[in-house]
């Protein structure tokens, strides 16, 4: 390989992400990395650790916790930060609800997904973070496809899609004033398949939810949702056991799973490569709200 001086696309993507991490570490005072235990954030953390080897990660990680997590996720999160020796900051949605800063949706379809924005922005403010790494990818969604790698947020945490800074070569402009911050997306150019191929190549451990397992589920809006203390099964919804896996991990009230027999990474890669549905289309009720759902949430300051 080296004789031809060619780089595989995964190694080119890795190099790009590593460059971005180092750029932020060199140019910002208080970066933080958003870590949910979802596969994108896991890959992001893995890349960040590689970027600074042999030094420890020069910034903490933050989890915006809706309180509606499947237990496997929290267990994985705590184990991973302990193993890597990184500092974990938790932004709790429950605290914001208890303090009356946000009002929880009611009814059987209530979700805390939208409430996360307030908690995220509060945590950024309180931690005085000036750069916030997010694991969003441009292939996920149309509004994301336009977002810069260094994405400017005003003092209210808002994104102005019509007024983005031109971003050229690898000359990222992170200039900002006090109170403003930059969202940084090192995985911008990765697709879902890239993520899985990389997990396979690097043997990265994920929460067990990503692999096929037996679980009680029910169908809602054409998606399979897990039975958990956080969702109310409606009278006309039938609970059954199935072999499923999750393609994304988010709030348990709106993150669906798919029937699958992929028990390990290699079979997930095969399945993803053959998939005919986007991961969000298949399993995220939050994106189905309206065609412009993501764009509106992003403007408010969502991930």
Partner 1 sequence: MSELLRLATAGSVDDGKSTLIGRLLFDSKSIFADQLEAVERTSRDRGDEYTNLALLTDGLRAEREQGITIDVAYRYFATPRRKFIIGDTPGHIQYTRNMVTGASTADVALILIDARHGVLEQSRRHAFIAALLGIPHLVVCVNKMDLVGWSRDRFEEIKEDFRAFAMKLEVHDLVFIPVSALLGDNVVDQSANLDWYDGRPLLHHLENVHIASDRNLIDARFPVQYVIRPQSGTDHDLHDYRGYAGTVAGGVFKAGDEVVVLPSGFTSRVAEIRGPGGSIEDEAFAPQAVTLTLTDDIDISRGDMICRPNNRPTVGQDIDAMVCWFSERSTLTPGSRYIVRQTTRAVPATVELLEYRLDINSLHRDEAADRLDLNEIGRVRLRTQAPLIFDQYRRNRSTGSLILVDPATNNTVAAGMIVGGEQARVTANVTWHENAVDRSKRSETGATIWFTGLSGSGKSTVAVEVERLLVEAGRAAYLLDGDNLRHGLNADLGFGAADRGENVRRVGEVAKLFADAGLVSVVSLVSPYRSDRNRVRAAHEAAGLRFFEVFVDTPLDVCEARDPKGLYAKARAGQISGFTGVDDPYEAPDSPDLVLRPGHGGPSAMADLVLGLLEV
Q: Give contact residues for partner 1 (rule: CB under 8 A).
A: 1-2, 4-9, 11-16, 18-19, 22-23, 25-26, 47, 49-56, 138-139, 142-143, 145-146, 161-162, 164-171, 173, 175-177, 188-189, 191, 193-194, 275-278, 281-282, 291-292, 295
Of 144, 129, 133, give the one whose Cα is nearest residue 297.
144
Burial string for 35-50 (b: 16+ CB within 10 Å, else e) reads: bbbbbbbbbbbbbbbe
Nearest residue (CB) to partner 1, 22 versus 213: 22
Nearest residue (CB) to partner 1, 95 versus 202: 202
Give least dist CB 178 to partner 1, A.
12
Give least dist CB 82 to partner 1, A.
18
Tokens of 41: 């954030």
Nearest residue (CB) to partner 1, 2 versus 106: 2
Give least dist CB 255 to partner 1, A.
16
Nearest residue (CB) to partner 1, 95 versus 180: 180
Residue with tokens 């460059």: 19
Give least dist CB 81 to partner 1, A.
18
Residue with tokens 């969000």: 280
Pairing of strands 223-226, 213-220: antiparallel
How many Å apart are CA 193 and CA 173, to the nearest integer? 29
Nearest residue (CB) to partner 1, 22 versus 114: 22
Residue 87 carries which DSSP code?
Answer: -
Residue 63 carries which DSSP code?
Answer: E
Give least dist CB 90 to partner 1, A.
27
Nearest residue (CB) to partner 1, 16 versus 72: 16
Of 66, 62, 23, 64, give the one whose Cα is nearest residue 45.
62
Give least dist CB 291 to partner 1, A.
7
> 70 near 230, Cβ under 8 Å?
no
């Amino acid at each position: 390989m080296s004789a031809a001086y060619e780089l595989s696309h995964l190694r080119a993507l890795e190099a790009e992400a590593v460059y971005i991490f180092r750029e932020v570490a060199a140019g910002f005072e208080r970066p933080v990395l958003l870590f949910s235990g979802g596969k994108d954030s896991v890959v992001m953390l893995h890349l960040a650790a590689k970027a600074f080897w042999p030094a420890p990660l020069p910034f903490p990680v933050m989890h915006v916790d809706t309180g509606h997590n499947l237990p496997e996720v929290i267990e994985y999160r705590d184990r991973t930060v302990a193993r890597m020796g990184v500092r974990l900051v938790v932004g709790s949605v429950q605290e914001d609800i208890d303090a009356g800063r946000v009002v929880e949706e009611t009814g059987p379809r209530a979700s805390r997904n939208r409430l996360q924005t307030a908690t995220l922005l509060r945590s950024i403010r309180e931690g005085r973070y000036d750069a916030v790494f997010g694991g969003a990818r441009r292939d996920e969604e149309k509004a994301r496809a336009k977002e810069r790698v260094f994405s400017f947020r005003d003092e209210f945490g808002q994104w102005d899609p019509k007024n983005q800074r031109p971003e050229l070569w690898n000359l990222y402009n992170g200039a900002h004033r006090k109170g403003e911050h930059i969202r940084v997306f090192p995985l911008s150019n990765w697709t879902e398949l890239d993520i899985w191929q990389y997990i396979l190549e690097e043997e990265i451990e994920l929460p067990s939810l990503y692999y096929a397992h037996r679980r009680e589920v029910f169908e809602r809006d054409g998606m399979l949702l897990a039975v958990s203390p956080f969702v109310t099964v409606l009278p006309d919804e039938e609970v059954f056991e199935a072999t499923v896996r999750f393609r994304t991990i988010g709030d348990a009230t709106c993150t669906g799973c798919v029937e699958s027999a992929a028990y390990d990474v290699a079979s997930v890669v095969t399945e993803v490569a053959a998939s005919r549905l986007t991961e969000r289309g298949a399993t995220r009720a939050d994106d189905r709200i309206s065609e412009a759902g993501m764009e509106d949430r992003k403007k408010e300051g969502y991930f």
